[in-house]
Amino acid sequence: MNNRVVNALAAACVSGLLFAAFGGTAGAADPAEQVKDRQQTMKKLGGGMGAVAKFVKNEGATAEDAAKGADAVLAVAKMDPKAIFPEGTAVGVSDSAAKPELWASWGTAQERWSAMRPAAETLEAAIKGGDRAQIAQALGATSKTCGGCHEDFRVKKQ
């Protein structure tokens, strides 16, 4: 191999490494953006739960609204928690309210996240069934999965 080829290979290697180092996070915005994205995602959960609650309490939401709400919760519950809680987005970054414990106890946090899915599935089934008492119960159970995680891993707003 002549020197020129070696140099070209070395250059290709270096750019490959750079790509590996930075390529993986390409598109993932800065931590402040990631916090904002997470808060938006959480708002979808809140909105979905709110729609079901409005239906249960007979406050103007239709069964269809409730079904859409449960769908929204289920869609978020299916997301990878790693994408929702990227490292380096704990309290201190922008207005993040995520405690550092969430990452320190990642296994527990993941369990909390996974618990939402079956609860939301039960909720969705209850809405399809149309029994308001059953829907209320499933809503309460889903809400507990939110509260459990917030209790441990979310800084209480003053």
Q: Which residues of 84-96 are buried (b: 16+ CB within 10 A; e: fewer)?
A: bbbeebbeeeeeb
Q: Which stretch binds ligand HEC (CB under 6 A): 10-18, 23-31, 59-67, 147-155?
A: 147-155
123 binds ligand HEC (CB under 6 A): no
User: Two tokens at 66?
Assistant: 């409730």
User: Two tokens at 17?
Assistant: 């490494």
Q: Which of 70, 109, 135, 138 binds ligand HEC (CB under 6 A)?
A: 109
Are the C-beta atoms of residues 69 and 49 closer than 8 Å to each other?
Answer: yes
35 binds ligand HEC (CB under 6 A): yes
79 binds ligand HEC (CB under 6 A): no
Task: Give the residue carrying structure tokens 């995602």.
Answer: 41
Interface with ligand HEC (CB under 6 A), residue total 24
Phi, psi of 84 (to 5 degrees): -80, -35
User: Two tokens at 104?
Assistant: 């320190």
In the complex, what is the shortest distance from the CB of residue 93 to ligand HEC, in angstroms, rounded to a whole number? 8
Chain residues in the site for ligand HEC (CB under 6 A): 35, 38-39, 42-43, 45-46, 49, 73, 96-98, 102, 109, 112-113, 116, 142, 145-146, 149-150, 153-154
